[in-house]
Structure formats: C-alpha cells, structure tokens
Chains A and B, each alone.
Chain A
C-alpha cells in the first residue's frame, strides 16, 4: 500500500521522540545502505536497518514498530561506526526498543520460559544484557 505523505505525516511527534531518545538526526542519512550491508543479524530482520532510517525520515514510526528489527539487533554497533554520515543507527534501535516497551509492548524474553538448565549454563552477562535490551 502506498505511504501517503504530507507535511504533517512527515514530521511526526513520534519521529521527533525517536531522534531525541537516540540523540541522532535521521535526516543525515543518504541511504547508502552500509548499515544493512554490515549487519550481522539482518537476515532475521523484517526490515533492514537502512529502511528503518528511511521510514523514520518519512515519519512512519508505527510501521517500524510493527517489525521485529529492533528485537533482532544485537547492539554490535557495526552500523554506527561504519555510517559515513554519523547516524547512530544502533542508538535508533535502542530508542525504538525503549519506545515500544513504554508503549506496552510485551517483553520479548520471558524469564519463565528459560529452563533452569539454561539459566544455570548461560553466563550472567548474557542473561542480564538480554533482559536489559528486550524487556521493560
């Protein structure tokens, strides 16, 4: 379906919030796709990172939040360090997670679903960082 654009839809509050929380200017992006090209987890994402930024430029935050992209992101920061225009894509992913969780999005990882063997075996840093990123 066509994205219908007008000046109200382009500059939405949601997009402003995204930029504020992530501390990055999404309009710096010129869509070279380097973030997507280097992303280790892109194969599992509904929307590749460069398209996330593109949709943000169009104010389409809802559409992004409907995807799984920010939950797949491993915060490896490869995208941000290679971005030629200093867009902090990794920071945008973090902001998206925070916005989604504040909007009442269900936790992605549920403590109850991890078996006690798994919890026993996993290093603490794996569990804590996963919870820090994917739960409210």
Chain B
C-alpha cells in the first residue's frame, strides 16, 4: 500500500524519533509512506474563528499539495497536524463561500481544493486498519505484558467530527498494543489535556497537568506512557523531569511514541531511536523487559 505522508515541522527535529520509528514500522507492515513534495507548516492549531480565513491558507495549501500527489489519502503522524488539516478540510466543505475565498487568496496555485478530495489519516487509524493477524505476525519480540498507559490527549478525539475513535473512551491504541503483547492499564486521564501550548506562557499550568496525568498512569501500574503527539510528548517528558528535579520523591515514567515501542516489538533495531531526545530515559524499562 502507498500513502502520501505529511511530516509537519516538528517531526524532522524534536520528534524525529516519531518519524523514524513510524516509517520503519510501516515498512515492516508493507506500507509505503511517500513524503509530500514542497510541503509547508499546517499552522499547527486550527483557527476556530469563522472569519479569520487567512489562518486556513496554510492547511489548505498542504491539502493542495496532497491533491497534486495523485494519491487520495494523506498520512500524518503528528496529532496537531492531523487535527488542523482535518478540521480545515471540513470547514471549507461546510462553507462554500469561504472555500471560494480561500482558493481566491491562492490564485497562483494551479490546483483548487474543495474540501473532500483528500482523506487525512492519522497513523493510529492507519495501523488500526491493518489486519490484527498481520500485525501480530509482524511482532517478533515478547513485550512480557509490559504495562502501558495510552495517552490520546486532545486532538485525536476532539472535536467529535474529527475524532479517530470514541471521544470519551478511545480504544485504538489499546487494541494495537494488546495485539502486540502489551497490557494497557486503566487510565482515566487518557484524554485529559496536558495544557498544550500553554507550556510556553503558563508552564505552571502545564506542570500541574503533567503531574496529574503521570500520577494517574503510575497509580494504575503503568511502566511507561505511550502517545502520538509531539507536543504532549514534550510536555509530559520534559515537565516530569522538572517535577522530579524539584522534588525527588516524584517518580517519573518514560514517555514514548507508540510507534517507538511497536517498531521495537516488530524487530526494528532499537538503536534507530535517538535516546538523547528523551528527558526521561526509557532504556531502563526497555532493558528490564529485554527489548533492547
């Protein structure tokens, strides 16, 4: 299977581990992700305003690139990109006059975008589509019932128009990880917000959110937190480290992209991960389970 792939800005830098692991995992699963040519930043956060159309240009231009690729599905790894692209597409689908205006702004583009030509697909949805038997067959390492907390954050399940699963109780990650031999734990904070971009201006809020989320995961027995959003990853990983530095009794949990773990279980060399990117080193846990 071939699918267009839109990395977005962070996947080439801070979240490089997400990209390398996801692409390696997809290769094992016979999915060829072909990076879009000439892509630009999607704008990161969907503009919820009805009359600020300039902010829709970046995501729509990305969808134009996807349309020009000739493939009708566009894979995103970053949940922020997913949310923005998907909502922008919906927005212009539902507002024809605004759609026309947006296309008019971009009159130098050779292609127009109407709203439903491209299906934006998140990596979790793509993995979920793969036959579970095939996925199981690709798993070569025993996870030894590794207890994992699956963290969805906000943008994969909200708003419900773009949710990849049930808004309140998504199960996609759990199903994948169970098929791969892990034990997802009860995790009531799995769709609670980590405070997102407020980490820049109100780190105090983001820290408290991190504390609550990690406490819940640890309390329910998780050995690591798995997620699919570079911003959540940064917040939960970095701020845990800060919390621990401030108060050494605060016990940390490593945070990994779900694809990092799945790739290792599928036999990808664990060393493709750049462990220096982690604030809480996941290697001790991986080692304990014999996964390194």
Contacts and interface: CB of A to CB of B under 8 A. Distances in A.
Interface string B19-46: 0000000000000000000000101110
Contacts of B198: 41, 72, 74, 130
A67 to B, nearest CB: 15
B24 to A, nearest CB: 21
Interface residues of A, number: 40
The listed residue with most B CB atoms (<10 A of its CB), out of A43, A71, A95, A129, is A129
A95 B49 contact: yes
A108 interface: yes
B44 A129 contact: yes
A57 to B, nearest CB: 20
A123 B239 CA distance: 13
Contact of A129 (B13, B14, B159, B197): B197
Given A22-B50, A80-B159, A81-B159, 16 more contacts: A21-B49, A21-B50, A40-B195, A43-B205, A72-B205, A75-B196, A88-B48, A124-B44, A125-B8, A125-B197, A126-B196, A126-B199, A129-B197, A132-B44, A132-B45, A133-B197
Given A22-B49, A76-B158, A123 B230 contact: yes
Interface residues of B, number: 43
Contacts of B158: 76-78, 80-81
Cβ-closest 9 pairs across A and B: A76-B193, A94-B48, A77-B158, A130-B197, A129-B197, A130-B200, A123-B14, A129-B45, A76-B154
Interface in A23-59: 23, 40-41, 43-44
Contacts of A114: 200
Nearest to B196: A74
A103 to B, nearest CB: 14
Tell me the dominant secondary structure on chain A's binding face: helix
A122 B191 CA distance: 22
Interface string B176-212: 0000000000000001110111111110110011000
Interface in B207-241: 208-209, 230-231, 234, 238
Contacts of B167: 81
B276 interface: no
30 contacts: A20-B50, A22-B48, A41-B193, A43-B205, A44-B205, A74-B196, A75-B45, A76-B193, A77-B154, A77-B158, A78-B154, A80-B159, A81-B159, A90-B48, A94-B48, A95-B49, A109-B200, A114-B200, A122-B200, A123-B14, A125-B8, A126-B231, A127-B197, A128-B43, A128-B44, A128-B45, A130-B198, A130-B200, A132-B43, A132-B47
Tell me the dominant secondary structure on chain B's binding face: loop
B138 interface: no
Contacts of A75: 45, 48, 154, 196-197
Contacts of B230: 123, 125
Contact of A91 (B15, B41, B48): B48
